[in-house]
């Protein structure tokens, strides 16, 4: 038969155990995420703009949230391999996707994307943006934009490097439509091999994201002729904007942001977004991006990012349709 002291002791133990369980449950509900290492999946090769930003995000998140954030490059199919994998991942915050404008171009331009950019993902935050810039190799005869247009009209079907499902491919088509010129896009698997061939003179030009060509411009290996930004870039003051040159409607910005699988809990999305908000507003992040031709997006939210994706999907569709019709001829 239990004594009163034994009963009281057992009751106290049960109460303590219950409080411990309750406290743990409350702590988990209030944002214990992340409680284990997190994967950051990237669909492009190391060294490119998206990979660079992904690694800056991963480093910041690890320091801010107290768990390792490990970048995994799943290269291929214009980013679709990584997108497919991330979109099918368990929605528990253990798998994140660092992506770019491929999220709004690939659904329209490729057939091997097996997930939906809107239905299968939740937008977390856009953190960086980069304008499109027109560059030519040093062997190209034109020294400025006016000479460039003359060259295209005298010698049509100059070659432009442009990966399938990429901003450069759409920019090439948009430019051709607006200027009445003929440019032949040459497909590449990524920005790095495309720039190697452009520098070597195997292709003539590229409408590239500034982040992918800035080091080559600074090194004197490529010449920049025009940039699609509202104002001249701080490190390229001699390069005019397309608007200054009379092409006010020529604009195709690239961006980099974080997404998670659909049905990821609100608490996880909010925690990631809040942390990335701190990164995007930090002077150190801006300095790191500037050297690569990018700029932070200081104000953004999951709702704003989701709206950007939906808007771009709708606005790019007519342009992509023309590109695909040309490819089918």
Provide the pLDDT for residue 55. Answer: 98
Greater confidence, 274 or 195?
A: 274
Domains of the chain: 38-129+254-328 (3.40.190.150), 132-228 (3.40.190.10)
pLDDT at 29 over 60: no
For residue 9, pLDDT beyond 80: no
- The number of CA neighbours under 13 Å toward the Cβ of 292 is 21
Lowest mean pLDDT among 14-18, 137-141, 144-148, 318-322: 14-18
Q: What is residue 8's predicted lDDT score, i.e. its pLDDT? A: 44
pLDDT for 78 equals: 83
* Whether 313 contacts 117, CB under 8 Å: yes
The enclosing H or E element of 85 equals helix 80-87
What pTM, to 2 d.p., does this model score? 0.77
The 10 Å Cβ neighbour count of residue 3 is: 8
User: What's the confidence (pLDDT) of residue 164?
Assistant: 61
pLDDT at residue 165, rounded to an integer: 58
In this predicted model, what pLDDT tens digit does every residue of 66-106 receive, in sequence order? 999 999 999 988 899 999 999 999 999 999 999 998 999 89
Check if the beta carbon of residue 215 is closer than 8 Å to that of residue 52.
no
Q: Are 92 and 103 in contact (CB under 8 A)?
A: no
pLDDT of residue 303 exceeding 80, the answer is yes
Task: Give CA–CA dist 260/121, Å, rounded.
Answer: 6
As a whole number of Å, the CA-based R_g of the chain is 24
According to DSSP, the β-strands at 38-42 and 69-73 are parallel
Q: Residue 198 — pLDDT band, cuts 50, 70, 90?
A: very high
The whole-angstrom separation of Cα 35 and Cα 65 is 9
**pLDDT surpasses 80 at 324:** no
Q: Which helix (H) or strand (E) holds 208?
A: strand 205-209
Q: Mean pLDDT, the chain, as a whole number?
A: 87
In 219-328, which residue ranges form alpha helices assigned H by DSSP? 266-280, 283-290, 302-328
Nearest alpha-carbon partner for 98 in 116, 119, 73, 115:
73
Residue 326 reports pLDDT greater than 80 = no
pLDDT above 60: residue 145: yes
**Average of per-residue pLDDT across 286-295:** 88
| Residue with the larger pLDDT of the pair 303 and 318 | 303
pLDDT at 20: 40
pLDDT tens per residue, range 38-50: 999 999 989 888 9
The pLDDT value given to residue 265: 97
Average pLDDT value for residue range 196-201 = 94
Give the CA count within 13 Å in the CB-facing half-sphere of 325.
7
Q: Mention every residue, 6+ apart, whose C-beta is less than 8 A from residue 265.
A: 91, 92, 93
- The pLDDT assigned to 42 comes to 98
Query: Is the model's pLDDT at 242 over the cut of 50?
Result: yes
Tell me what the mean pLDDT of segment 2-28 comes to: 44
């Amino acid at each position: 038969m239990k004594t009163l002291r034994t009963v009281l002791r057992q009751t106290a133990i049960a109460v303590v155990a219950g409080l411990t369980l309750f406290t743990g449950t409350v702590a988990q509900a209030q944002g214990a995420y992340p409680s284990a290492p997190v994967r950051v999946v990237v669909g492009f090769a190391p060294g490119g703009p998206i990979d660079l930003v992904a690694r800056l995000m991963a480093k910041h998140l690890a320091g801010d949230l107290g768990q390792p954030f490990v970048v995994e490059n799943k290269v291929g199919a214009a980013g679709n391999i990584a997108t497919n994998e991330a979109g099918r991942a368990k929605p528990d915050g253990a798998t994140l996707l660092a992506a770019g404008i491929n999220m709004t171009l690939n659904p329209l331009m490729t057939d091997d994307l097996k997930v939906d950019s809107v239905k299968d993902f939740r937008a977390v935050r856009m953190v960086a943006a980069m304008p499109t810039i027109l560059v030519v190799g040093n062997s190209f005869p034109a020294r400025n934009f006016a000479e460039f247009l003359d060259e295209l009209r005298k010698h049509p079907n100059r070659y432009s490097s442009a990966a399938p499902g990429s901003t450069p491919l759409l920019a090439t088509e948009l430019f051709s439509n607006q200027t009445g010129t003929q440019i032949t896009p040459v497909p590449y698997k990524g920005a790095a091999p495309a720039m190697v061939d452009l520098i070597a003179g195997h292709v003539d030009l590229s409408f590239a994201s500034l982040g992918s060509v800035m080091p080559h411009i600074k090194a004197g290996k490529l010449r920049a002729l025009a940039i699609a930004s509202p104002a001249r870039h701080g490190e390229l003051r001699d390069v005019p904007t397309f608007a200054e040159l009379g092409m006010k409607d020529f604009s195709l910005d690239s961006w980099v942001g974080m997404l998670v699988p659909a049905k990821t809990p609100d608490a996880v999305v909010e925690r990631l977004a809040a942390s990335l908000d701190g990164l995007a507003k930090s002077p150190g992040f801006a300095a790191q991006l500037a050297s690569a031709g990018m700029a932070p997006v200081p104000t953004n939210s999951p709702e704003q990012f989701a709206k950007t994706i939906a808007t771009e999907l709708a606005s790019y569709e007519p342009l992509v349709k023309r590109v695909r019709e040309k490819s089918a001829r």
